[in-house]
Amino acid sequence: MLSLGSGGAKSTKPSFVSYVTPEEIKSEKDPPKQEKHPDLLPGEVEFCSANPILKYTQDDLSQRGVFGTLFCTNFRVTFISDEKPQEKTDKTFKNKLYGENDIPLMCVDHIYGVYDEKRKLITGGLVKNKYPSKMIIHCKDLRVFQFSLTFSKEEDAKKIFQGIAHHCLEEKSLKCVFAFSYMGTPSPGTDLSFCREMQWKQETVMFDSPEDWTQEMKRTKANCRLVTENENFELSQRLPKYFVIPLTIGDLFSYQGKGLPIWCWSHYSGCALFKASFPPVTQEDGDFQKHLDTMINAVAHNHLYSVKTEDLSESLPNIQDIQQSYNKFKQFFLIENSTDFWLSDVKWFSSLESSGWLDIIRQCLQKAVEVVECLEKDNTNVLITEEEGTDLCCVISSLAQIMLDPYYRTLMGFQSLVQKEWVAGCHAFLDRCNHLHQKDKEVIIACSFLPVSSDAILQPEKSPLAQSGPLSCPTVWDWSVQFDSKAQNFFFNPLYLEKVKHDRAVRKPHKPKHQRNLSLPSTAFKTPPKKGFFKDETDSLKKMLRVKRLSRWRGSPDAPTATTREFFESWQHRPLDYHGLLLPCLDGPAVHIWMQRYLRWIPEVYILGGGSVAVMTKLMELLSQVQDLKRVLEQRDSSQAAKLDHRPYFQHRLLSFDSSGRLSSSFPFAYTCYRSFKPIIPTGLMQSLMVTDSLASQEDEASSVVSFV
Amino acid sequence: DRSSGPRVSDTELRVYKDPSKDELPLLPEELVQDSAKDVTYICPFIGPVRGSLTVTNYRLFFRCTDREPVFGLDLPLGGLSRVEKIGAASSRGDVSYGVVCKDMRNLRFVHKEPENSLKKSVFEVLMKFAFPVSNNMSLFAFEYKQVFPENGWKVYDPLAEYKRQGLPNESWRISKVNDHYELCDSYPATLFVPVTITDEELRRVSSFRAKGRIPVLSWIHPESQAAVVRASQTMVGQNGRRCKEDEKLLQAIMDANAQSHKLFIFDARPSVNAAANKMKGGGFESEDAYQNAELVFLDIHNIHVMRESLRKLKDVVYPNIEESHWLSNLESTHWLEHIKLILAGALRIADKVESGKTSVVVHCSDGWDRTPQLTSLALIMLDSHYRTIRGFQILLEKEWLSFGHRFQQRVGHGDKNHTDADRSPIFLQFIDCVWQMTRQFPAAFEFNEYFLITILDHLYSCLFGTFLCNSEQQRLKEEVPKRTVSLWSFVNSQLEEFVNPLYVHYPSHVLFPTVGIRHLQLWVSYYIRWNPRMRPQEPVHQRYKELLAKRAELQKRVEELQREAANRMASSSSERAGSPTRSITPVQTFV
């Protein structure tokens, strides 16, 4: 037989009604006639269910599926297979609250119905008509589920479809969010690691009390003023209960807190980063302009009378652009079948570019580097502003803090940072996740640029618990609610270098004492920066500030200012200090998409036995060996002061695998570790590369005369 | 001492700590040919720098004199593809020279013409020594006489390698038919063929296969006995010629594997090109003539397309990267698409052998470009031995060197004819594919990225004899193994530099890489290594090594303590039975 290469693998549109007829199912189904129900969480209520429903398996070219029951509860849509659970696949990283076939209602992004082979987006209006033969659910975490409704009774199918559509798509009040019904508390004392978990939880600074803010000011040696006047949100609903402002601001109550510079972080030199909500000012509104100038003035007073202001809504894409870009971008990952995958593979780079997503990421990081440059090199106060002051301000300020402050690269530090800048910082999670669904990712993505320094490598999807989390609910930082202690091990980057003083063996390169000082020659503490010394005279100050605002920060996002480039290069030339400043490289080839986040559900990209988990396995093994050896030494050598290792004990045996079952590269996210060990052969290669120029038809050998001298 | 070793610099500019010392590191037999002061190197990254330029019979050496810190350029002349004067002399008498390198960079120098017109400019000397073959001189590899502890020419012993695979056996025999390269001058002397085929029949087959490159065994599966067989295209021609012996040979290959009654023939070319080859007397196996065989085309393009693709890639990455269109520019070079097609082809071959237990025949047109790419990649997927440092050397010696990949033609060692249409980055493409696999399976390869880059650097450097000539026959005729040093002598004498600290040896693991473009990356640390901004942010491998060192140190201390304790126990035997020495699980060391 002659098959024309890859063209032989035809790109057929999969027809799903295939191998099993409904009759067959009936006969198969009859014997085990037992009702199955999901294990409900405390406070969870089942709304409706239907059986049998066919769930298509995505990881198989044959387009087969599994029969089971589909449920809808007040927390999730869940599917329970009729088949006996197979050999327990590797559940090391199991989420205790929801599993492979659970879709929290808040996680549903779009629902499509297939009516007579045509796919339609389900909106409120369509629900009342007939139900589709197939329901496709796109999740916010980029999973795709496909359920066939044709096998169950009509009324059941209708009910489950309408139920799911109603609970996922209809508007609802905040009170309906499951977090308010959830009664779960972690059962204490289940295992030994519980104490440690409690410790973690306690270490995350929540920034919901004046003490947390005072402590943070102390930590960064800030000289600012804590505001407690907003405890009952009298000042402004859009401001946190507690926040910190420059010392010299007296008037708090004008303009509902608009323009008020909120302190983010202080550099050791004394200059600080502030963010503020600056609505656009019209010409007539001279008073308000005056108010804003006073605010800028106050920031300047914080340290050496210099300030640089940056209007983020001017220099970065606005949130609508970002949302649009993300919508385009995420479509590349919502892949329903293999044919689509390989078709889109061909134009992968150009489609990625056309979405603009990576460019936005780059611009945000670029802006953060510019902020860092001002703080670190020029020792100038920075005030970043935008209309609301809680979107891009959060992105830029948290990125800058991650680059500058090693504390925020620890797990606890990162969690505290999210609390400080995003949760206490009043980022509109509810709006952004439901409608824009966007901002938090930016931070998460950005972190992947510092993969080795950031502990938060495995940032799992946040459950709706946290996304709407008023403080009475369990917080997402209590990971024990979701993961057992073993799984929590995966949160740690085994390569993270802790800042330990007494352990000389690991770190041979000697570190100078002033570590944060190391990365750049910053101007000495009391020397005024070249460009930023102002007399305390408001008029001239204002004039000069205005000038600065217009000149310094006008760089097109495409061409980073030469000085920033220089700043990066001079940083690059210094020895790397893990506990000092870290700057990302932002050149095109250095910015990648975050594979593990975006591609983790797509079976076509799984590498069986490979991927970063292969390195992780080996590293954990090594680390646990080192820890074992240390422990032995400690036991033996009692004279040695037993300095206990604070880091979690790496239980590498969890990950070690024998030759039969290899982990897939998308571990711990892909549940199908034991799928048939077959390579994924691309289809449709012929379309991929039609080289039409004359070179392709040239003879392979230009000449067969060999000349070797 | 590293500076005396033949290390090719991995960053463009070397920084010298002690500028007062003359740091020109000459190799044995390396002689300075000329040097000039007041040469300006126009660095695309930091601008013009002044300094002195030295040309030896091995390298070009530029040392800047007007800057702190003092730094230099140091590159082997073998890496030069082209040296030319750009434009006429300026009013001040300055002449500009462009140097195009094979390793993805271009250099530009400005220099005053010597006032004495009889004296040759340093660049004329450079042109002479950069292209010794064109100037009737010998390559530096024939002069270089460094002695290393190990002789790399002994790395590959064909009989030992086939023996490792369990050959000969009842189905496959050694044939001496090519002992003196009479059957096929581009094949090795040692060939493995089915026992049922006589040498006479092989001779007839050779007249039916392009360049006499008959189907012979490359690798055999230790369990299923499915074989990977390589060949060149059949000379079917427009009239549809057939060859009884060739048909019998392929049937015999199929029969040698009891597990399958089918044979897959992988033709690496796009089917259009394969069909077009019929016009020139070539072609492919027809389904009538070869019963039970299935022919699959792998759609990999020819050497000219690949050369053009790399040229475009160089335009995109050197010297500057256009930020806003980086991804679409990268896509327009098609480089990664070619990589994808090659990996996909090798994956299909490995799948048929491993999962289908079927023997396969792989060929392209002549069987020396796309064929070794495919067979060696499939072998790396199938056989973990080839993922070790020595195994990989054997793989290159066998699939590429002994089976006659035309290195001399494809690289153009010492040849100034830079427009030669026979040049093509086929081997680079293969190494890139291997790198892609090491990215996907970071613990499955014993060697590191630096090993692959070193191989590529010395592919061009002409310091070692390994990649000289076009075939085994030519290398013997030129006495390359006698007169030159093997790259493996150098590599195997300092293995620790090339070891992947995270290597885990799983003997029976087959690797199936993911070949989607989404999982392929541009090999930045090779193609864009001259750009100082693209230097890796963090030396992660350094951390791995520290970790291993830490473990070794602790292990040692534990052992010492155990020994001490044992001694103490022995000396005070009357004491009560103390807690027994807790046994420490012996920890394997991979380094």
Q: What is the ipTM of this complex?
A: 0.84
Q: Which residues of B touch A618 (CB under 8 A)?
A: 443, 502, 504
Contacts of B125 (CB under 8 A, 6+ apart): B33, B34, B55
Q: Which residues of A touch B326 (CB under 8 A)?
A: 353, 588-589
Looking at the complex, report in whole angstroms how far the Cα of residue A590 sits from the nearest Cα belonging to chain B. Answer: 7
Q: Which two tokens stand for residue B142?
A: 């024939």
Average pLDDT of chain A to the nearest whole number = 70
A557 vs A630, higher pLDDT: A630
Q: Which of B185, B264, B326 to mutate to test the interface with A (most CBs of A within 10 A)?
A: B326
Q: Check B271 against A350: CB less than 8 A apart.
A: no
Q: Which of B338, B554, B583 to mutate to test the interface with A (most CBs of A within 10 A)?
A: B554
Q: Check A659 against B509: CB less than 8 A apart.
A: yes
Q: Which strand (E) or helix (H) includes residue A27?
A: helix A22-29
Kindly state the average pLDDT of the residues B30-34: 92
Range of weakest confidence among A173-187, A411-425, A540-554, B273-287: A540-554
With 50 as the cut, is the pLDDT of residue A446 above it? Answer: no
pLDDT band at A644; cut points 50, 70, 90? very low
Give the one of B469, B514, B585 whose C-beta lies nearest to A605's C-beta.
Answer: B514
pLDDT for the residue numbered B551:
81
pLDDT band at A255; cut points 50, 70, 90? confident
Amino acid at A403: M
With 80 as the cut, is the pLDDT of residue A140 above it? Answer: yes
pLDDT for the residue numbered B298:
95
With 80 as the cut, is the pLDDT of residue A195 above it? Answer: no
Q: Which residues of A touch B405 (CB under 8 A)?
A: none
pLDDT for the residue numbered B539:
67
| Alpha helices (runs of H) in A303-410, residue ranges in sequence order | 312-315, 319-331, 338-346, 348-355, 357-373, 392-404
Give the one of A568, A589, A697 whose C-beta lies nearest to B522's C-beta.
Answer: A589
pLDDT band at A668; cut points 50, 70, 90? low
Residue A93 contacts residue A668 (beta carbons within 8 Å): yes
Name, of A195-209, A407-421, B468-482, the range with top average pLDDT. Answer: B468-482
pLDDT band at B564; cut points 50, 70, 90? confident
With 60 as the cut, is the pLDDT of residue A169 above it? Answer: yes
pLDDT for the residue numbered A691:
56
- Assess whether B433 carries a catalytic annotation: no
With 70 as the cut, is the pLDDT of residue A9 above it? Answer: no
With 90 as the cut, is the pLDDT of residue A498 above it? Answer: no
Name, of A284-293, A320-329, A530-539, the range with top average pLDDT. Answer: A320-329
Residue A275's DSSP bridge partners are A262, A384
pLDDT for the residue numbered A544:
46
pLDDT band at A22; cut points 50, 70, 90? very low
Range of weakest confidence among A98-112, A421-435, A646-660, B562-576: A646-660
Q: State the residue for tokens 């599994």.
A: A66
Q: Check B537 against A619: CB less than 8 A apart.
A: no
Q: Which of B327, B338, B410, B439 to mutate to test the interface with A (most CBs of A within 10 A)?
A: B327
Gap between the Cα atoms of B245 and B251, Å rounded: 10
A237 vs A180, higher pLDDT: A237
Question: Angle of helix A348-355 relative to helix A338-346, nearest 10 degrees?
Answer: 80
Looking at the complex, report in whole angstroms how far the Cα of residue A702 sits from the nearest Cα belonging to chain B. Answer: 6
Q: Check B305 against A595: CB less than 8 A apart.
A: no
A92 vs B204, higher pLDDT: B204
Q: Which of B101, B184, B243, B364 is an active site residue?
A: B364
Looking at the complex, report in whole angstroms how far the Cα of residue A130 sits from the nearest Cα belonging to chain B. Answer: 39
pLDDT band at A6; cut points 50, 70, 90? very low
CA dihedral A628, A634, A635, A638 (to 10 degrees): 170
pLDDT for the residue numbered B369:
97
Looking at the complex, report in whole angstroms how far the Cα of residue A410 sits from the nearest Cα belonging to chain B. Answer: 18
Kindly state the average pLDDT of the residues A392-418: 89
* Residue A75: other Cβ atoms inside 10 A: 29
pLDDT for the residue numbered B533:
83
Range of weakest confidence among A345-359, B117-131, B234-248: B117-131
With 80 as the cut, is the pLDDT of residue B291 above it? Answer: yes
Kindly state the average pLDDT of the residues B402-424: 95
Which residue of chain A is at minimal alpha-carbon distance from B421? A702
Q: Check A708 against B469: CB less than 8 A apart.
A: yes
A256 vs B123, higher pLDDT: B123
Range of weakest confidence among A420-434, B457-471, B526-540, B548-562: A420-434
Residue A239 contacts residue A257 (beta carbons within 8 Å): yes
Contacts of A473 (CB under 8 A, 6+ apart): A179, A180, A182, A465
Q: Check B546 against A682: CB less than 8 A apart.
A: no
A88 vs B259, higher pLDDT: B259
Which residue of chain B is at minimal alpha-carbon distance from A503? B550
Q: Which two tokens stand for residue A698?
A: 């040239």
With 90 as the cut, is the pLDDT of residue A453 above it? Answer: no
The pairing of strands B94-101 and B106-112 is antiparallel
Gap between the Cα atoms of A59 and A70, Å rounded: 20
Q: Which pTM value belongs to this model?
A: 0.84
Q: Which residues of B touch A506 (CB under 8 A)?
A: 546-547, 550
Angstrom CA distances, A285 to A289, A299, A314, stand at 6, 22, 20
Residue A646 contacts residue A199 (beta carbons within 8 Å): no
With 70 as the cut, is the pLDDT of residue B155 above it? Answer: yes
Q: Check A662 against B509: CB less than 8 A apart.
A: yes
With 90 as the cut, is the pLDDT of residue B314 above it? Answer: yes
Q: What is the pLDDT of residues B118-152, one digit of tens each?
A: 677 888 899 999 999 999 999 999 999 899 999 99
The percentage of residues in chain A with a pLDDT greater than 90, rounded to a whole number, is: 12
Q: Check B521 against A614: CB less than 8 A apart.
A: no
Q: Which strand (E) or helix (H) includes residue A558?
A: none
With 70 as the cut, is the pLDDT of residue B225 above it? Answer: yes
- The CA-to-CA distance between both ends of chain B, in Å, stands at 21
pLDDT for the residue numbered B587:
39
Q: What is the pLDDT of residues A529-580, one digit of tens each?
A: 333 333 333 344 444 444 344 334 433 444 456 778 888 888 888 887 778 8
Kindly state the average pLDDT of the residues A571-600: 82
pLDDT band at A492; cut points 50, 70, 90? low
Name, of A3-7, A319-323, A408-412, B438-442, the range with top average pLDDT. Answer: B438-442
Which residues of B are annotated binding-site positions for substrate? Answer: 277-280, 302-303, 364-370
With 80 as the cut, is the pLDDT of residue B249 above it? Answer: yes
With 60 as the cut, is the pLDDT of residue B208 above it? Answer: yes
Which residue of chain A is at minimal alpha-carbon distance from B548? A622
Gap between the Cα atoms of B230 and B219, Å rounded: 9
pLDDT for the residue numbered B20:
53
With 70 as the cut, is the pLDDT of residue A359 above it? Answer: yes
Looking at the complex, report in whole angstroms how far the Cα of residue A610 sits from the nearest Cα belonging to chain B. Answer: 4
